[in-house]
Amino acid sequence: MTNKINDSSVGIVKSKTVEIKQNLKLDCGKDLKNFSLVYETYGELNSEKNNAILICHALSGDHHAAGYYNIDDRKPGWWDSCIGPGKPFDTNKFFIVSLNNLGGCMGSTGPNTINSETGLEYGPDFPIVTVNDWVNSQKLLADYLNINKWACVIGGSLGGMQALQWTISYPDKIKNAIVIASAAKLSAQNIAFNEVARQAIITDPEFHDGRYNNYNVVPKRGLSIARMLGHITYLSDDSMRQKFGRDLREGKLHFGYDVDFQVESYLRYQAQAFVERFDANTYLLMTKALDYFDPAKEYDDDLSKAFQNTKSRYLVVSFTSDWRFSSSKSHEIVKSLVKARKNVSYSEIEVNHGHDAFLMPIPQYLEVLRNFMENV
């Protein structure tokens, strides 16, 4: 076994699949009949079944949050810095569940899976899903695992929206919530970024109205542009300047339209890697779920009213350099929770990593998480 799998790692992990044999009524008005959810677990569920934590992933995330599938894997799961023995989400203490949401492309029922009623791939016919739909499906997963109440539901970005929705939809089923680099609703600017990304995909000649798999092609150009656009918004100006500046890839200008600058090379590399692992229809679905999230809408646009019946203890975390989900959005959540007289702690971490900071092992950030989890 290689040195990279150390005592602080959950080690080698395996994904599991549960078949939910019941209808799920979706917010769009459609029913999803019999669906699968892929998930991973870390740690052990105690006899009282009161130490379970749910990890909710962001737009391009999945169920593989920690550990390795094989000792030769280049990287561990996407939140390995936080999950494991002695880490903030300590697997010596907690039973941690991480799933791939409905509509995902990593094994759970979604556009690239087969519709049991037609025998054909869902493709663009997969229904639009919302954060509320995800939480309802996660509740069914909790039932399957015999978890009556989550000790904590945790998520960053889109994952944080799911944590918020859990506290609203199932106040008696969640004890604590950690909401990181998130928002109670997207700004017009954020919706605009998502629309540009969707149009890049939809207008790609290889998209074929979402049925690209029927033609054995992938809308690579559109998905690449969408990823590059998104990645720019996940980084801060300071972090890009420090990482790339105006450094040239080969030390000279080529006076053409190919790559000259290191930052161009980086974006193209990230885009290519993303195209190889992610599905275009899923990307469209995920961005719509982001756009539609607005729990206050059903409460006269008063977020404090949405939180009125919640019973959770909250931790809200933001990052000073995150302009995609700015600290002001976290302030809105905190102020509404305070107005609703809820137990909330808030931490604003001063770093220059941008939105992606929630995925990074920043010492102050890890300490904030660890301190909160000591009382879970």
Q: Is 336 a catalytic residue?
A: no
CB 233 within 8 A of CB 355: yes
CATH 3.40.50.1820 placement within the chain = 16-186+295-373
The single residue of 224, 322, 336, 353 carrying the catalytic annotation is 322
**Three-state secondary structure call for residue 36:** strand
Rounded to whole angstroms, the Cα distance separating 328 from 323 reads: 9
DSSP secondary structure of 93-134: T-EEEEEEPTT-SSSSSSTTSB-TTTSSB-GGGSPP--HHHH
CB 125 within 8 A of CB 110: no
Amino acid present at 211: R
Beta pairing class for 31-42 and 95-100:
antiparallel
Q: What is the pLDDT of residues 125-136, one digit of tens each?
A: 999 999 999 999
- For residue 158, the surrounding DSSP H or E stretch is helix 158-169
**CATH, range 16-186+295-373:** 3.40.50.1820
Per-residue pLDDT of the chain (376 residues; tens, 9 = 90+): 444 688 889 999 999 999 999 999 999 999 998 999 999 999 999 999 999 999 999 999 999 999 999 999 999 999 999 999 999 999 999 999 999 999 999 999 999 999 988 999 999 999 999 999 999 999 999 999 999 999 999 999 999 999 999 999 999 999 999 999 999 999 999 999 999 999 999 999 999 999 999 999 999 999 999 999 999 999 999 999 998 999 888 888 989 899 999 999 999 999 999 999 999 999 999 999 999 999 999 999 999 999 999 999 999 999 999 999 999 999 999 999 999 999 999 999 999 999 999 999 999 999 999 999 999 9
**CATH, range 191-287:** 1.10.1740.110
Q: Is 353 a catalytic residue?
A: no
Beta strands in 113-251, from DSSP E residues, in sequence order: 152-156, 176-180
Whole-number Cα distances in Å, 79 to 10, 65, 68, 230, 373: 11, 5, 12, 19, 16
Supply the DSSP symbol for 283: H
Q: Is 157 a catalytic residue?
A: yes
Rounded to whole angstroms, the Cα distance separating 48 from 283 reads: 39
CATH 1.10.1740.110 placement within the chain = 191-287
The single residue of 81, 108, 157, 182 carrying the catalytic annotation is 157
The single residue of 57, 63, 353, 355 carrying the catalytic annotation is 355
